[in-house]
Structure formats: structure tokens, C-alpha cells
């Protein structure tokens, strides 16, 4: 029988998350995630439940056999947020286990005059729908601006970055294939 740490590691790998990605989504360090997975640290119940939530696994399912039913409805409580205050953005994953699906969906909130991270080229197709404000996309050497109710749709085969150089908050719905967010 596997230890809790080993089971968490197996679940993280099944969900196609790195320790760093899990750490970002749970506001824990990569090193701490590594210690928990190697049973060198024991998370509090709150931290353990938070990790399971991000991994899209109910505590009962973690200790029982794998559930075979499909989850269709996701409530506000299912959403997971990660705030990077120094960088000026908040990510909210609408479906906790979306990184293991064909599409990953999230809301990105960019404070005024802020930038989201730069992404390397990938095989992903990405849709960014502006819910509020304006957003700039730098895709390779080209730059595009979209306002509320407008969108970007692109193949992520060039380096790219979303930013908000404007004087108002921007919110985007992002849906990407081949999870890379």
C-alpha cells in the first residue's frame, strides 16, 4: 500500500502537474510539495484538503477506489485561485482538474499596468476573451489589442505574453488546449 505522500505524487503526475505548478496553485513552495511527496513533511489537514482540491480529488475518493463517474457541473466553490500580487495578476481555474483535460479554462485578472508571464512556443491553441477592460497580446513580433467583448485566438507556436498597459483592470476568459498555463 502506498503512503499518503506517494499517493499525492501519483495523483499529481496523473494530473500532469509539476511540483512547481502544484505549488503555485496551492500557494506552497516546490520544496514543501517535494517533502510531502517523500513523506518528510506532514501537511496540516487544511493544506492536505487544499492540495486535494487543486488536484480535483475529494478526500473520500483519495482513500477509496477511483471514481469512474464524469463530473459535469462546477460551482464557485470548485474554482481555485492563485494570486501573484507582486506581478499584478490573479488566476482562477474554473475546473480544478482542467490541466488533465483537452482544454484548460481560467479567468486571468490583470491589474492596471501589469504583465502576465512570457510563454515559450508550444502546440497549444489559445482563446482569450476580454470580459472587462483592454488587453495587449504580444505574439512573436506582432502586438494586438482587444477590448471588452473582443477576443484573441492563436496558435501558441511563437513566444507570447499578455499584458495590461492601460489605466483600468482587465479580466479575460482563457481557454487553451495542451495545458501550458
CB under 8 Å to 49, separation ≥6 — which residues? 59
- The model's pLDDT over 94-123, given as tens digits with 9 standing for 90+, comes to 988 776 678 889 999 999 999 998 998 888
Percent of the chain beyond pLDDT 70? 93
**CATH entry, 4-63, from 3.30.565.10, 3.40.50.10440, 1.10.260.40, 3.30.1370.60:** 1.10.260.40
Return the higher-pLDDT residue of 132 and 66. 132
d(CA 149, CA 61): 39
Q: Is 147 a residue whose pLDDT tops 70?
A: yes
Strands (E) across 51-133 are located at: 80-84, 89-93, 103-110, 114-115, 125-132
Tell me what the mean pLDDT of segment 12-39 comes to.
93
- Give the pTM: 0.63
Q: Among candidates 116, 62, 33, which has minimal Cα distance to 107?
A: 116
Q: How many residues does the structure list for the chain?
A: 181
Q: Among candidates 149, 146, 144, 145, which has minimal Cα distance to 131?
A: 149
The b-or-e profile of 40-57 (16+ CB within 10 A means b, else e) is eeebeeebbebbbbbbbb
Tell me what the mean pLDDT of segment 169-177 comes to.
95
Domain residue extents for the chain = 4-63, 76-177
**CATH entry, 76-177, from 3.40.50.300, 2.60.120.10, 3.40.50.10800, 3.50.50.60:** 2.60.120.10
Amino acid at each position: 500500500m502506498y503512503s499518503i505522500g506517494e499517493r499525492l505524487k501519483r495523483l499529481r503526475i496523473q494530473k500532469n502537474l509539476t511540483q512547481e505548478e502544484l505549488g503555485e496553485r496551492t500557494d506552497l513552495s516546490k520544496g514543501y510539495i517535494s517533502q510531502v511527496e517523500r513523506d518528510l513533511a506532514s501537511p496540516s489537514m487544511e493544506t492536505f484538503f487544499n492540495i486535494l482540491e487543486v488536484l480535483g480529488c475529494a478526500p473520500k475518493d483519495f482513500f477509496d477506489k477511483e471514481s469512474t463517474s464524469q463530473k459535469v457541473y462546477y460551482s464557485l466553490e470548485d474554482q481555485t485561485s492563485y494570486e501573484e500580487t507582486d506581478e499584478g495578476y490573479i488566476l482562477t481555474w474554473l475546473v480544478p482538474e482542467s490541466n488533465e483535460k483537452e482544454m484548460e479554462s481560467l479567468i486571468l485578472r490583470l491589474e492596471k499596468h501589469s504583465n502576465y508571464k512570457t510563454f515559450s512556443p508550444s502546440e497549444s491553441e489559445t482563446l482569450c476573451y476580454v470580459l472587462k477592460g483592454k488587453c495587449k497580446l504580444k505574439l512573436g513580433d506582432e502586438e494586438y489589442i482587444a477590448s471588452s467583448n473582443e477576443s484573441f485566438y492563436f496558435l501558441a507556436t511563437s513566444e507570447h505574453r499578455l499584458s495590461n498597459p492601460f489605466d483600468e483592470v482587465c479580466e479575460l476568459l482563457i481557454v487553451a488546449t495542451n495545458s501550458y498555463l
